Amino acid sequence: MGNYFHVTTFGESHGVALGGVIEGCPAGLKIDRQFIADELARRATGKTSSESQRRESDEVEFLSGLLDGVTLGTPIAFMVRNTDAHSEDYEALKDTFRPSHADYTYQTKYGIRDWRGGGRASARTMLPYVVAGAIAKQILKQQGIEIHASVKSIGGQTEPLKMEDVLKQCREEGDSVGGIVHGSIIGLPAGWGDPLDDKFQACLAKAMFTIPAVKGFEYGDGFAMANMKGSDANDQMLIDDDSSLQVKFLTNHSGGIQGGITNGEEVFFNVAFKPIPTIGRGDRHDVCALPRAVVIVEAMAALTAVSFVP
Protein backbone atom coordinates (compact mmCIF):
# COMPACT_ATOMS: atom_id res chain seq x y z
CA MET A 1 0.00 0.00 0.00
CA GLY A 2 1.22 3.50 -0.86
CA ASN A 3 4.04 4.90 -2.99
CA TYR A 4 6.28 7.28 -1.03
CA PHE A 5 5.51 5.40 2.20
CA HIS A 6 4.99 1.78 1.13
CA VAL A 7 3.66 -0.90 3.48
CA THR A 8 3.66 -4.66 2.94
CA THR A 9 2.08 -6.88 5.61
CA PHE A 10 2.25 -10.58 6.43
CA GLY A 11 0.70 -13.09 8.81
CA GLU A 12 -2.50 -14.91 9.71
CA SER A 13 -4.83 -14.73 12.69
CA HIS A 14 -3.46 -17.92 14.29
CA GLY A 15 0.00 -18.00 12.73
CA VAL A 16 3.22 -17.45 14.66
CA ALA A 17 3.11 -13.70 14.15
CA LEU A 18 1.83 -10.80 12.09
CA GLY A 19 4.00 -7.98 10.85
CA GLY A 20 5.05 -5.70 8.07
CA VAL A 21 7.78 -3.94 6.16
CA ILE A 22 7.69 -0.16 5.70
CA GLU A 23 9.72 1.33 2.86
CA GLY A 24 10.14 5.05 2.30
CA CYS A 25 10.04 6.22 5.90
CA PRO A 26 12.40 9.21 6.15
CA ALA A 27 15.56 9.00 8.22
CA GLY A 28 15.92 10.83 11.52
CA LEU A 29 12.39 10.27 12.86
CA LYS A 30 12.37 9.52 16.59
CA ILE A 31 9.79 6.76 16.96
CA ASP A 32 7.40 7.16 19.87
CA ARG A 33 6.97 3.52 20.85
CA GLN A 34 4.53 4.33 23.64
CA PHE A 35 2.27 6.02 21.09
CA ILE A 36 2.36 2.87 18.96
CA ALA A 37 1.48 0.75 22.01
CA ASP A 38 -1.41 3.08 22.84
CA GLU A 39 -2.74 2.83 19.28
CA LEU A 40 -2.59 -0.97 19.42
CA ALA A 41 -4.42 -0.90 22.77
CA ARG A 42 -7.28 0.95 21.07
CA ARG A 43 -7.55 -1.95 18.60
CA ALA A 44 -7.12 -4.72 21.19
CA THR A 45 -9.86 -7.21 22.05
CA GLY A 46 -11.19 -8.24 25.44
CA LYS A 47 -11.89 -4.79 26.89
CA THR A 48 -15.71 -5.02 26.91
CA SER A 49 -18.35 -7.76 26.77
CA SER A 50 -19.24 -6.82 23.19
CA GLU A 51 -15.73 -7.66 21.97
CA SER A 52 -13.89 -10.91 21.38
CA GLN A 53 -12.32 -12.17 24.61
CA ARG A 54 -9.06 -13.05 22.86
CA ARG A 55 -6.32 -11.32 24.84
CA GLU A 56 -3.02 -10.62 23.13
CA SER A 57 -0.09 -8.62 24.49
CA ASP A 58 0.53 -7.10 21.02
CA GLU A 59 4.14 -6.17 21.77
CA VAL A 60 5.91 -4.84 18.68
CA GLU A 61 9.35 -6.22 17.85
CA PHE A 62 11.31 -4.01 15.45
CA LEU A 63 13.71 -6.10 13.38
CA SER A 64 15.35 -3.46 11.19
CA GLY A 65 15.37 0.17 10.17
CA LEU A 66 15.96 1.72 13.62
CA LEU A 67 19.01 2.69 15.65
CA ASP A 68 18.36 3.76 19.22
CA GLY A 69 14.73 4.34 18.30
CA VAL A 70 15.54 6.62 15.34
CA THR A 71 14.71 5.69 11.75
CA LEU A 72 17.63 5.02 9.42
CA GLY A 73 15.80 5.63 6.15
CA THR A 74 16.10 1.93 5.35
CA PRO A 75 13.19 -0.57 5.37
CA ILE A 76 11.55 -0.95 8.78
CA ALA A 77 10.59 -4.56 9.51
CA PHE A 78 8.49 -5.39 12.55
CA MET A 79 6.33 -8.18 13.93
CA VAL A 80 3.84 -8.92 16.69
CA ARG A 81 3.63 -12.49 17.97
CA ASN A 82 0.30 -14.29 18.46
CA THR A 83 0.12 -15.63 22.01
CA ASP A 84 -3.57 -16.30 22.68
CA ALA A 85 -4.78 -18.15 19.59
CA HIS A 86 -7.12 -21.05 20.37
CA SER A 87 -6.97 -22.89 17.06
CA GLU A 88 -8.77 -25.92 18.46
CA ASP A 89 -11.93 -23.79 18.76
CA TYR A 90 -12.09 -23.72 14.96
CA GLU A 91 -11.45 -27.44 14.31
CA ALA A 92 -15.08 -28.03 13.28
CA LEU A 93 -14.74 -25.40 10.52
CA LYS A 94 -12.13 -27.34 8.53
CA ASP A 95 -14.74 -28.62 6.11
CA THR A 96 -17.39 -25.95 6.58
CA PHE A 97 -18.03 -22.72 4.68
CA ARG A 98 -19.43 -20.04 6.98
CA PRO A 99 -22.03 -17.62 5.56
CA SER A 100 -20.68 -14.16 4.59
CA HIS A 101 -17.11 -15.13 5.48
CA ALA A 102 -14.21 -15.50 3.03
CA ASP A 103 -14.01 -19.29 3.51
CA TYR A 104 -15.49 -20.26 0.15
CA THR A 105 -13.80 -17.56 -1.92
CA TYR A 106 -10.36 -18.27 -0.41
CA GLN A 107 -10.81 -22.00 -1.05
CA THR A 108 -11.86 -21.29 -4.62
CA LYS A 109 -8.95 -18.93 -5.33
CA TYR A 110 -6.10 -20.81 -3.63
CA GLY A 111 -7.34 -24.41 -3.37
CA ILE A 112 -6.46 -24.27 0.32
CA ARG A 113 -7.37 -22.02 3.25
CA ASP A 114 -6.32 -21.40 6.81
CA TRP A 115 -9.49 -22.18 8.78
CA ARG A 116 -7.96 -21.13 12.12
CA GLY A 117 -9.72 -17.94 13.08
CA GLY A 118 -10.20 -16.89 9.48
CA GLY A 119 -6.50 -16.95 8.60
CA ARG A 120 -5.49 -14.06 6.38
CA ALA A 121 -9.12 -12.89 6.15
CA SER A 122 -9.27 -12.20 9.89
CA ALA A 123 -9.66 -8.62 11.13
CA ARG A 124 -6.51 -9.25 13.19
CA THR A 125 -4.48 -8.91 9.99
CA MET A 126 -5.14 -5.16 10.17
CA LEU A 127 -2.82 -4.94 13.20
CA PRO A 128 0.32 -4.23 11.09
CA TYR A 129 -1.51 -1.33 9.46
CA VAL A 130 -2.15 0.16 12.90
CA VAL A 131 1.58 0.01 13.64
CA ALA A 132 2.47 1.55 10.26
CA GLY A 133 -0.32 4.08 10.65
CA ALA A 134 1.03 5.16 14.05
CA ILE A 135 4.39 5.90 12.43
CA ALA A 136 2.65 7.72 9.57
CA LYS A 137 0.77 9.86 12.10
CA GLN A 138 4.09 10.90 13.64
CA ILE A 139 5.38 12.02 10.25
CA LEU A 140 2.16 13.93 9.51
CA LYS A 141 2.18 15.57 12.95
CA GLN A 142 5.46 17.25 12.04
CA GLN A 143 3.58 18.93 9.19
CA GLY A 144 0.63 19.97 11.35
CA ILE A 145 -1.71 17.29 10.01
CA GLU A 146 -4.04 15.42 12.35
CA ILE A 147 -6.27 12.38 11.85
CA HIS A 148 -9.43 11.83 13.86
CA ALA A 149 -12.22 9.24 13.74
CA SER A 150 -15.19 8.31 15.90
CA VAL A 151 -18.24 6.06 15.91
CA LYS A 152 -21.09 7.92 14.22
CA SER A 153 -23.78 5.28 14.61
CA ILE A 154 -24.36 1.64 15.58
CA GLY A 155 -27.42 -0.18 14.34
CA GLY A 156 -28.90 3.12 13.18
CA GLN A 157 -28.56 4.68 16.64
CA THR A 158 -26.44 7.82 17.08
CA GLU A 159 -26.74 8.46 20.82
CA PRO A 160 -24.03 6.75 22.95
CA LEU A 161 -26.48 5.22 25.44
CA LYS A 162 -28.70 3.86 22.68
CA MET A 163 -25.65 2.44 20.91
CA GLU A 164 -24.69 0.65 24.13
CA ASP A 165 -28.22 -0.75 24.39
CA VAL A 166 -27.95 -2.12 20.84
CA LEU A 167 -24.64 -3.84 21.64
CA LYS A 168 -26.01 -5.32 24.86
CA GLN A 169 -29.10 -6.64 23.13
CA CYS A 170 -27.09 -8.22 20.32
CA ARG A 171 -24.76 -9.93 22.79
CA GLU A 172 -27.74 -11.36 24.71
CA GLU A 173 -29.36 -12.56 21.47
CA GLY A 174 -26.13 -13.99 20.06
CA ASP A 175 -26.36 -11.60 17.13
CA SER A 176 -24.20 -8.83 15.62
CA VAL A 177 -24.65 -5.31 14.29
CA GLY A 178 -22.96 -2.82 11.97
CA GLY A 179 -22.64 0.95 11.83
CA ILE A 180 -20.74 3.98 10.57
CA VAL A 181 -17.37 5.49 11.50
CA HIS A 182 -16.79 9.19 10.74
CA GLY A 183 -13.26 10.30 9.95
CA SER A 184 -11.45 13.53 9.21
CA ILE A 185 -8.01 14.74 8.12
CA ILE A 186 -7.24 18.25 9.36
CA GLY A 187 -4.36 20.45 8.23
CA LEU A 188 -3.80 19.05 4.74
CA PRO A 189 -2.36 21.67 2.41
CA ALA A 190 -3.93 22.33 -0.98
CA GLY A 191 -2.40 20.43 -3.87
CA TRP A 192 -2.08 16.83 -2.64
CA GLY A 193 -3.42 14.15 -4.99
CA ASP A 194 -3.49 13.61 -8.73
CA PRO A 195 -6.17 14.37 -11.35
CA LEU A 196 -6.86 10.81 -12.56
CA ASP A 197 -5.48 7.48 -11.34
CA ASP A 198 -4.30 8.66 -7.92
CA LYS A 199 -7.11 10.99 -6.93
CA PHE A 200 -6.87 11.64 -3.21
CA GLN A 201 -10.40 10.39 -2.55
CA ALA A 202 -9.83 7.27 -4.70
CA CYS A 203 -6.74 6.36 -2.70
CA LEU A 204 -8.61 7.06 0.55
CA ALA A 205 -11.52 4.87 -0.56
CA LYS A 206 -9.18 2.03 -1.54
CA ALA A 207 -7.52 2.22 1.88
CA MET A 208 -10.88 2.06 3.68
CA PHE A 209 -12.08 -0.86 1.58
CA THR A 210 -8.96 -2.76 2.65
CA ILE A 211 -10.54 -3.00 6.10
CA PRO A 212 -12.58 -6.20 6.60
CA ALA A 213 -16.36 -5.67 6.94
CA VAL A 214 -16.34 -2.27 5.17
CA LYS A 215 -19.26 -2.01 2.73
CA GLY A 216 -19.49 1.68 1.94
CA PHE A 217 -17.49 4.91 1.71
CA GLU A 218 -18.44 8.53 1.08
CA TYR A 219 -16.56 11.80 1.43
CA GLY A 220 -17.85 15.33 1.75
CA ASP A 221 -21.64 15.38 1.58
CA GLY A 222 -21.42 12.08 -0.29
CA PHE A 223 -24.67 10.45 -1.34
CA ALA A 224 -26.67 13.39 -0.01
CA MET A 225 -25.33 15.45 -2.92
CA ALA A 226 -27.35 13.30 -5.30
CA ASN A 227 -30.45 15.04 -3.98
CA MET A 228 -29.02 18.57 -3.97
CA LYS A 229 -29.06 21.30 -6.60
CA GLY A 230 -25.82 22.67 -7.96
CA SER A 231 -26.55 26.04 -6.37
CA ASP A 232 -26.62 24.32 -2.97
CA ALA A 233 -23.76 21.88 -3.52
CA ASN A 234 -21.17 24.33 -4.92
CA ASP A 235 -18.50 25.52 -2.49
CA GLN A 236 -18.30 29.28 -2.99
CA MET A 237 -14.88 30.92 -2.67
CA LEU A 238 -13.37 34.24 -1.61
CA ILE A 239 -9.88 35.49 -2.34
CA ASP A 240 -8.23 36.41 0.97
CA ASP A 241 -5.10 37.97 -0.44
CA ASP A 242 -4.87 39.25 -4.02
CA SER A 243 -1.09 38.98 -4.00
CA SER A 244 -0.90 35.31 -3.06
CA LEU A 245 -4.32 34.23 -4.34
CA GLN A 246 -5.15 32.53 -1.05
CA VAL A 247 -8.66 31.08 -1.29
CA LYS A 248 -11.19 30.83 1.51
CA PHE A 249 -14.11 28.44 1.09
CA LEU A 250 -17.46 29.46 2.56
CA THR A 251 -18.70 25.84 2.65
CA ASN A 252 -17.14 22.38 2.39
CA HIS A 253 -19.66 20.15 0.64
CA SER A 254 -16.75 18.76 -1.40
CA GLY A 255 -15.06 17.35 1.69
CA GLY A 256 -11.78 19.14 1.06
CA ILE A 257 -11.14 17.54 -2.34
CA GLN A 258 -11.83 18.86 -5.83
CA GLY A 259 -10.66 17.26 -9.05
CA GLY A 260 -8.93 14.57 -7.02
CA ILE A 261 -6.70 17.17 -5.34
CA THR A 262 -6.95 18.56 -1.80
CA ASN A 263 -8.07 22.20 -1.56
CA GLY A 264 -6.80 22.97 1.94
CA GLU A 265 -10.10 22.39 3.74
CA GLU A 266 -10.84 19.53 6.14
CA VAL A 267 -11.16 16.16 4.41
CA PHE A 268 -14.05 14.33 6.05
CA PHE A 269 -15.64 11.00 5.23
CA ASN A 270 -17.89 8.18 6.46
CA VAL A 271 -17.13 4.45 6.40
CA ALA A 272 -19.96 1.90 6.64
CA PHE A 273 -19.33 -1.46 8.35
CA LYS A 274 -21.54 -4.51 7.93
CA PRO A 275 -22.55 -6.66 10.93
CA ILE A 276 -19.89 -9.18 11.97
CA PRO A 277 -20.82 -12.39 10.08
CA THR A 278 -19.90 -14.63 13.03
CA ILE A 279 -23.00 -14.91 15.21
CA GLY A 280 -24.15 -17.20 18.02
CA ARG A 281 -23.17 -17.42 21.64
CA GLY A 282 -19.49 -17.45 22.48
CA ASP A 283 -16.68 -15.12 23.52
CA ARG A 284 -14.14 -15.31 20.66
CA HIS A 285 -15.83 -12.88 18.28
CA ASP A 286 -17.03 -9.29 18.30
CA VAL A 287 -20.67 -8.23 18.40
CA CYS A 288 -19.73 -5.09 16.45
CA ALA A 289 -16.54 -4.09 14.66
CA LEU A 290 -16.88 -0.35 15.16
CA PRO A 291 -15.42 0.35 18.62
CA ARG A 292 -12.11 -1.26 17.63
CA ALA A 293 -12.28 -0.16 13.99
CA VAL A 294 -11.94 3.57 14.80
CA VAL A 295 -8.16 3.40 15.20
CA ILE A 296 -7.91 1.29 12.02
CA VAL A 297 -9.83 3.92 10.04
CA GLU A 298 -7.42 6.55 11.38
CA ALA A 299 -4.42 4.39 10.47
CA MET A 300 -5.60 3.88 6.90
CA ALA A 301 -6.31 7.59 6.51
CA ALA A 302 -2.82 8.39 7.82
CA LEU A 303 -1.23 5.92 5.43
CA THR A 304 -3.15 7.50 2.55
CA ALA A 305 -2.13 11.04 3.48
CA VAL A 306 1.53 10.24 4.15
CA SER A 307 1.87 8.65 0.71
CA PHE A 308 1.36 12.11 -0.81
CA VAL A 309 3.97 13.92 1.31
CA PRO A 310 6.18 15.88 -1.13
The verdict on residue 240 lying in a domain is: no
Q: What is the predicted pLDDT for the residue at 241?
A: 66
Q: What is the predicted pLDDT for the residue at 283?
A: 52
Q: How does pLDDT run across 54-109, given as a tens digit for each residue?
A: 677 899 999 999 999 999 999 999 999 988 767 676 777 788 888 888 999 999 99
Q: What is the predicted pLDDT for the residue at 2?
A: 59
Q: What is the predicted pLDDT for the residue at 1?
A: 65
Query: Euclidean distance between the first and final Cα of the chain, in Å?
Result: 17
Q: How far apart are CA 264 and CA 127, in angstroms?
A: 30
> Average pLDDT, stretch 272-300?
86
CA dist 299 → 107, 131, 142, 161, 287 (Å):
29, 8, 16, 27, 22
Q: How far apart are CA 55 and CA 81, in angstroms?
A: 12
Check whether 149 has a pLDDT greater than 70: yes
Q: How confident is the model at residue 246 (pLDDT cuts 50, 70, 90)?
A: confident
Q: What is the predicted pLDDT for the residue at 278?
A: 84
Cβ atoms of 106 and 153 within 8 Å: the answer is no
Check whether 293 has a pLDDT greater than 80: yes
The verdict on residue 239 lying in a domain is: no
Q: What percent of the chain has pLDDT over 70?
A: 92
pTM of the model: 0.91
The verdict on residue 242 lying in a domain is: no
Q: What percent of the chain has pLDDT over 90?
A: 72
Q: What is the predicted pLDDT for the residue at 198?
A: 92
Q: How confident is the model at residue 47 (pLDDT cuts 50, 70, 90)?
A: low
Check whether 243 has a pLDDT greater than 60: no
Looking at the structure of the chain, the number of domains it has is 1
Q: What is the predicted pLDDT for the residue at 98?
A: 86
Q: What is the predicted pLDDT for the residue at 116?
A: 83
Check whether 223 has a pLDDT greater than 80: yes
Q: What is the predicted pLDDT for the residue at 310?
A: 85
| Residue ranges making up the domain that contains 34 | 6-220+255-306
| Residue positions counted in the chain | 310
Q: How confident is the model at residue 48 (pLDDT cuts 50, 70, 90)?
A: low
Q: What is the predicted pLDDT for the residue at 248?
A: 86
- Report the mean per-residue pLDDT for the chain: 91
CATH code: domain of residue 39: 3.60.150.10
> Can you name the residues that pair with 19 across neighbouring β-strands?
10, 79
Q: How does pLDDT run across 111-138, given as a tens digit for each residue?
A: 988 888 788 888 899 999 999 999 999 9
Q: How does pLDDT run across 6-45, given as a tens digit for each residue?
A: 999 999 988 899 999 999 999 999 999 999 999 999 998 7
Q: What is the predicted pLDDT for the residue at 180?
A: 98
The verdict on residue 234 lying in a domain is: no
Q: Which of 113-122, 258-267, 274-283 has the lowest mean pLDDT?
A: 274-283
CA dist 83 → 21, 121, 205, 227 (Å):
21, 19, 33, 51
Q: How does pLDDT run across 173-195, given as a tens digit for each residue?
A: 999 999 999 999 999 999 999 99
